[in-house]
Chains A and B, each alone.
Chain A
Amino acid sequence: MNFDWSQVWDAMPTMLDGLLVALTATGIGYVIALILGLVFALARRSPNRWVSMPVGFLVEFIRSTPLLVQLFFFFYVLPLIGISVSPLATGAFALGLHYATYVSEVYRSGIDGVPPGQWEASTALNLSTRRTWTNVILPQAIPRVVPALANYIIAMFKDTPQLLAITVVEMLGGAIAIGSETFRYSEPIAAAGLVYLFVALVMAWIARIVERRFGQVRV
């Protein structure tokens, strides 16, 4: 086997274009996951069973089906119901929705970690349910799960190659495109792998800083 490192470097400009796409999908998807995840977590705790049960079912359903299936589903179904958005937007949304179900479990563990006495004190002061959530419970629940939340952004980033299935060309897609022209696949795919590795390591490093920062907040 002859492995030509110069071809790895030649692939890099394409990889950087792909990286931009991957980071865009991850970034948008992550924001969706953080927001929807919180909505899911709160809805599942609703005293109204007509809210908590359907949302609980939805969360379990999304979590138990593969991301790839969900990507295809939204890619083919959204246009049918009159929503036509770019494949990248579709992919970011599907990624965000998928990860929202995991993120909601992270929020749940954070909320469960707030001592019952905090709820009782809020009742004793007659705070409204909304105030209790926004001013007492969530400010204590969220800091303790920031490290776990930060780890999901890495997992999401590593799932972006699946967007290739719905024609979103990020790094792996770029590598395969190069291969189909040059008939050399190993070098561009190695290039993609290196970029994934590098970016994931940087993210993990940032996550560890965040973890150390929040690990010290004793709430």
Chain B
Amino acid sequence: MTNGDFITFEGVHKAFGQNVVLDDLSFSVGSGERVTLIGPSGSGKTTILRMLMTLTRPDRGTIKVNGDYLYHEERNGQLVPASEAHIRKVRSRITMVFQHFNLFPNMKVLRNVTEAPIHVLGKSKDEAEARGKELLEMVGLGDKLDAHPSQLSGGQQQRVAIARALAVDPDVLLLDEVTSALDPEIAAEVLDVLRDIAKTTDVTMLLVTHAMKFARDVSHRVLMFNEGRIIEDGTPEQLFNEPEQDRTRTFLKSVLDET
């Protein structure tokens, strides 16, 4: 399951003003590994995902994806800040699904899914549409190809967003609280789709979620964050059943009380 260090954070630090969100953080994730990031809000989980997606830049430290630095390039044996072209190249293996879906409202559902395959991957329109239909079929929206995103429910929009993400054939899929904006019942539909994906593909996943049962079902590993650090790292069984840290225990108790 874990094939070496596919994603590596080394000494990554980030502060917003006085507020330290990531405190010299180092960790790695193997290829094909599914890792859930848990912890109280403001503990840095989402920042990790946003950094991998290049939406938030680290203040210092390095991030490597499949052997390539994300924010740096090696030139004459020295690490220098990466060019936009380098960042784009490394980023091409990564994609993200957002809490608020962020579908393109000016495009129909199928166009949302084919936009990147056509214009980024250079696929033909026919090829992209065939694959797009297949993916939309898979998420249960094969009958909504010509709908506008605004005509869909939240759960449907999020499933389109998942299809859109898979359409770029990512090696790394980042899921940022993808069910937090949805009613529990609707959230379950979306989680079922993600379970299928976890079962049928070997895409590396980093998830931030409050759906603990789902996290337990799909992840190989759970990282507990607190104040910008990882305070516990283990299998879901270890972390959920016998947490070592008091902080983890109180956090899990508070989350389970909520749901």
Instruction: Enumerate chain A interface residues (CB-CB to B < 8 A).
Output: 115, 117-118, 120-121, 123-128, 131, 135-136, 139-140, 218-219
Min CB distance B95 to A, Å, is 5
- B190 near A: Cβ within 8 Å? no
Q: Given the complex, which residues of B lie within 8 Å of A118, measured CB to CB? A: 102, 104
Q: Which 3 A-B pairs have the closest CB atoms?
A: A121-B102, A125-B116, A117-B102
Known contacts A124-B102, A139-B106; 14 further A-B pairs (Cβ under 8 A) = A117-B102, A120-B55, A121-B98, A121-B103, A121-B104, A124-B95, A124-B96, A125-B120, A126-B95, A126-B168, A127-B116, A131-B119, A135-B119, A140-B106
* B165 interface contact, C-beta 8 A: yes
Is B53's CB under 8 angstroms from A124's CB?
Answer: yes
Are B168 and A136 in contact, with the CB atoms below 8 A?
no
| A187 CA to B195 CA, complexed, in Å | 81
Known pairs A117-B100, A120-B98, A135-B115; A127 contacts B106 (CB<8 A): no
CB distance from B184 to the nearest CB of A (A): 23
Nearest residue (CB) in A for B104 is: A136
Instruction: Using known A-B contacts A117-B98, A121-B102, A140-B105, determine if residue A127 contacts B119 with beta carbons closer than 8 Å.
Output: yes
- 28 example contacts (A-B, Cβ-Cβ < 8 A) are as follows A115-B102, A117-B100, A117-B102, A120-B55, A120-B96, A120-B98, A120-B102, A121-B102, A121-B104, A123-B91, A124-B102, A125-B164, A126-B92, A126-B116, A127-B115, A127-B116, A127-B119, A127-B120, A128-B88, A128-B119, A131-B119, A135-B104, A135-B119, A139-B106, A140-B106, A218-B150, A219-B105, A219-B106
Distance from A92 Cβ to chain B, minimum over Cβ atoms (Å): 32
Q: Does B54 contact A (CB under 8 A)?
A: yes
Closest to B97 in A: A124
B69 → A minimal CB distance (Å) = 17
| Residues on A with beta carbons closer than 8 Å to the beta carbon of B107 | 135
Residue on A nearest B96 in the bound complex, by CB: A124
Q: Known contacts being A135-B115, A135-B119, A218-B150, is A123 close to B55, with CB within 8 Å? A: yes
Number of A-B contacts (CB under 8 A): 64
A contact residues around B100 at 8 Å (CB): 117
Q: A117-B100, A120-B55, A135-B115 are in contact. Are A125 and B106 (CB under 8 A)?
A: no
A31 to B36 CA separation, bound complex (whole angstroms): 53
A44 to B90, CA, bound (A): 29
Residue of B88, B119, B165 touching A124 (CB-CB under 8 A): B165
Contacts of A120 in B (CB 8 A): 53, 55, 96, 98, 102
Q: How far is the CA of A131 from the CA of B53 in the complex (A)?
A: 18
Query: If the complex has contacts A120-B55, A135-B115, A218-B150, are A126 and B102 also in contact, measured as CB distance less than 8 A?
Result: no
Interface string of B34-56 (1 = CB under 8 A from A): 00000000000000000001110
B137-194 CB contacts (< 8 Å) to partner A = 150, 164-165, 168, 174
Q: Which A residues are in CB contact (< 8 Å) with B103?
A: 121
Measured between beta carbons, the chain B residues less than 8 angstroms from A135 are 104, 107, 115, 119
Interface string of B89-132 (1 = CB under 8 A from A): 00110111010101111110000000110011000000000000
CB distance from A143 to the nearest CB of B (A): 8
Please indicate the chain B residues that have their CB under 8 angstroms from the CB of A140 in the complex. Answer: 104-106
Cβ distance A116 to chain B, nearest Cβ, rounded Å: 9
Q: Give CA–CA (A124, B168) in the complex, Å.
A: 10
Chain B residue numbers with a CB within 8 Å of A131 are 119-120
How far, in Å, is A139 (CB) from chain B's closest CB?
4
Interface string of B204-248 (1 = CB under 8 A from A): 000000000000000000000000000000000000000000000
